[in-house]
A = this chain, B = another copy of it.
Amino acid sequence: MIIDVHGHYTTAPAALGLWRDRQIAALKDGTPMPRASELRISDDELRESIETNQLRRMRERGSDLTIFSPRASFMAHHIGDFEVSSTWAALCNELCFRVSQLFPEHFIGAAMLPQSPGVDPISCLTELERCVRDYGFVGINLNPDPSGGHWTSPPLTDRHWYPLYETMVEHAIPAMIHVSTSCNACFHTTGAHYLNADTTAFMQCLTGDLFKDFPTLRFLIPHGGGAVPYHWGRFRGLAQELKKPLLDEHLLNNIFFDTCVYHQPGIDLLTEVIPVKNVLFASEMIGAVRGVDPTTGHYYDDTRRYIEAADLTDEERHQIFEGNARRVFGRLDAHLRRKGL
């Protein structure tokens, strides 16, 4: 089985974006917000948006199951207050749940949280628990910078985040550390902010001792870990100067990297430098980079090809494609076992 641990609902029917536009306009004008019930999307519309996009590509590329969360750039936690984020997150999560119900073999949900800058993350627990309990979601996306590029929240190692971690551990739910749209003109969203956040999150964990407090907490760092594997020597050296244990021991029981790296040399480096047990297959399809690479004739984000071509044994490839995902996403494994898989 090939499990893609990083897919977003980037192709939701236009009604979703129009509803959000109305919410933002109401916020701006001080007029009443649209109600959640005013968003109406039929099952047929959902089906079509998936069948002609993600599912078609999954079939073409031979991946079986995607951990599916709301569109990352649409989370935009910097817009409005907690109530605005809360209504918006609930709508987006519900759509991912409905997709997982329409295509139970191919999609399973991960939740967007109703984060809001300056608001205690404890406020996210209701939505998180609802998604786990009612929707069967197996993960969450945690935004380390709900301000959208101004980085006003404390580092991930701060006690600020601990209530969230306690709940994640209780439910065996890992977090993908994923920022959203940048509203800072310095940072292009997908070309700088995403990668910077990956690197930043890793270094926050390196300087701290978070996993001493939460030995079973698990973070997935997307986009191949930002700059981290390319600079693995730098990070090993910095850990050494900070008198931290070796990274294997200090971080690699808790931190994992996905394979959203869109060329062969990048995947070759990732799989050479990072232990195979810490690498999880993902493509972020349909996501930031949608075109065909003229140097290969294949989609940039067809990451399965790079894994197939990397210098790995069949057993290692199986770990990356399936085994590691089932180990890191414990509820996913339980779900598959219940289905006899």
Q: Which residues of A contact B (CB under 8 A)?
A: 144-145, 149-151, 153-155, 184-188, 190-192, 195-196, 199-200, 203-204, 206-207, 223-224, 226-227, 229-238, 240-241, 261-263, 265-266, 268-269, 272-273, 288-291, 293-295, 300-301
Contact = CB atoms under 8 A, between A and B. Distances in A.
A266 B232 contact: yes
Contact of A203 (B188, B290, B293): B188
Given A266-B232, A273-B265, A288 B187 contact: no
Given A223-B231, A263-B233, A185 B155 contact: yes
Given A230-B229, A234-B288, A265-B232, A196 B191 contact: no
A234 to B, nearest CB: 5
A21 to B, nearest CB: 23
A235 B269 CA distance: 17
Contact of A230 (B151, B236, B237, B266): B266
Contacts of A293: 233, 236-237
B199 A195 contact: yes
Contacts of A200: 186-187, 192, 196
A204 B188 contact: yes
Given A151-B187, A237-B289, A238-B190, A265 B272 contact: yes
Given A227-B195, A272-B265, A234 B155 contact: no
A230 B224 contact: yes
Contacts of A185: 154-155
A194 to B, nearest CB: 9
Interface centre among A190, A206, A233 (most CB of B within 10 A): A233
A230 B227 CA distance: 7
A207 B230 contact: no
Closest 3 CB pairs of A and B: A233-B263, A233-B262, A237-B289
A265 B269 contact: yes
Nearest to A295: B236
A235 B227 CA distance: 13
22 contacts: A144-B186, A145-B186, A150-B151, A153-B186, A190-B238, A195-B196, A195-B199, A196-B199, A196-B227, A223-B234, A224-B231, A230-B266, A230-B269, A233-B289, A233-B293, A236-B295, A237-B288, A237-B300, A241-B290, A265-B269, A265-B272, A265-B273
A119 B268 CA distance: 44
Most buried by B among A151, A235, A301: A151
A72 to B, nearest CB: 15
B227 A206 contact: no
A291 B231 contact: no
A137 to B, nearest CB: 27
Contact of A238 (B204, B223, B289): B289
A111 to B, nearest CB: 23
Contacts of A268: 269
B233 A230 contact: no
Contacts of A230: 224, 227, 229-230, 261, 266, 269
A266 B235 CA distance: 12
B237 A261 contact: no
Contacts of A184: 151
